[in-house]
Structure 1
């Protein structure tokens, strides 16, 4: 029951933060404000992702401290997964922004919106992985 509550809580926090960012950036009036807002949100989401990835590695190290071979395997799988996920994220965001001309700021803003959303989804995924 406690695990279920934790999962629901994590999902709620992730969604509410993403919804806040969307509401916050959609209240901007000028293109420059919108672009700046999403760039800031992307930076925040990337910081969250990096922190959670580091935290996941620490949880793995703690859980497998006495099993060096398993620790090495788990870290290799996590690293491979993260690299694959980053490739997915970047291509998905390019796909979502494809209709915009890369020469205009709206392209960067669409990339930032997508990256923010997908990074926060990944943070929730990393938090939900069982490390033991």
Structure 2
């Protein structure tokens, strides 16, 4: 039988693997879209993506961590938030990709 710490760690590890898969797909779609754009539009996309990453991370931190909470559940909430926002961003970029 696993200890609570092992169960918590395992769950967090699995969530992180799901996030990594979503992030990999996002990067694939991002690079496909970037190849189809003019140099000026590529620069705008790069800026937008950097800004989006900052927003995603700060938004998920805000949603997941409060002064009274923390620990494993907050970490899981943070990873889950990043995963969901990454999946949504991938859908958004795929939609743009279909326009080109």
- TM-score by length of structure 1 reads 0.63
Matches within 5 A, 1:1-132: 30-60=7-37, 71-99=38-66, 100-101=69-70, 104-129=71-96, 131-132=99-100
Q: In 1, Cα distance between the equivalents of 2:78 and 2:29?
A: 21
- Could you report, residue by residue, the CA deviation over 1:75-119 in whole angstroms, capped at 9, with x for unpaired residues? 111111111111110111001112332xx2323211110010000
How many residue pairs align between the two structures? Answer: 91
Structure 1 stretches lacking a partner, 5+ long: 1-29, 61-70
Structure number with greater CO (CA < 8 Å, separation at least 6) is 2
| Aligned-residue RMSD, C-alpha | 1.5
Distance 2:72 2:16 in 1: 11
The answer to whether the 8 A contact 1:59-1:131 is kept is: no
Per the normalisation by structure 2, the TM-score is: 0.80
